[in-house]
Every structure is written in structure tokens, then in C-alpha cells.
Amino acid sequence: MKHVLLWMAGLGSLSMVAQSGAGVATAHPIATDVAMSTLAQGGNAFDAAVATHFALAVV
């Protein structure tokens, strides 16, 4: 358990790298637009995936 806590404590020191471009592929063009818009507004890949699934549920 002690090793797990030490490992988890080290996660806060990870650095993040920003990418200048992104690619999205979905089954519908509107869902693709939603995902790209989410990423353009500062969202991450998980945010884009959730938004895409909501869009695909509606379209």
C-alpha cells in the first residue's frame, strides 16, 4: 500500500504537452464538428469523446 501511495503522489508532478493539431473521426460529420469544437475550446480528448457520443445519440 505504501508503494501505491508514493506512486500516486508522484502523479502530480507530471508535465503536460500541448499539441497544435488534432484529428477526429466519427460516423457523422456533425459529431466530428462537435468533437473539434470541444477541442478548440480547450477540452481534452475525454471531453471530446463524451461530446461526440452525445452528438451521435441525437443524430
* pLDDT tens by residue, 2-59: 444 444 545 555 444 445 678 888 999 999 999 999 999 999 999 999 999 999 999 8
The predicted model scores a pTM of 0.64
CB distance 52 to 34 below 8 Å: yes
Tell me, what's the pLDDT at 30?
93
44, 13 Cβ separation under 8 angstroms: no
pLDDT for 11: 53
Confidence at residue 59, expressed as pLDDT on a 0 to 100 scale: 86
HEC string for the chain: CHHHHHHHHHHHHCCCCCCCCCCCCCCCHHHHHHHHHHHHCCCCHHHHHHHHHHHHHHC
The answer to whether the CB of 38 falls within 8 A of the CB of 22 is no
Q: Where in the chain are the domains?
A: 27-59
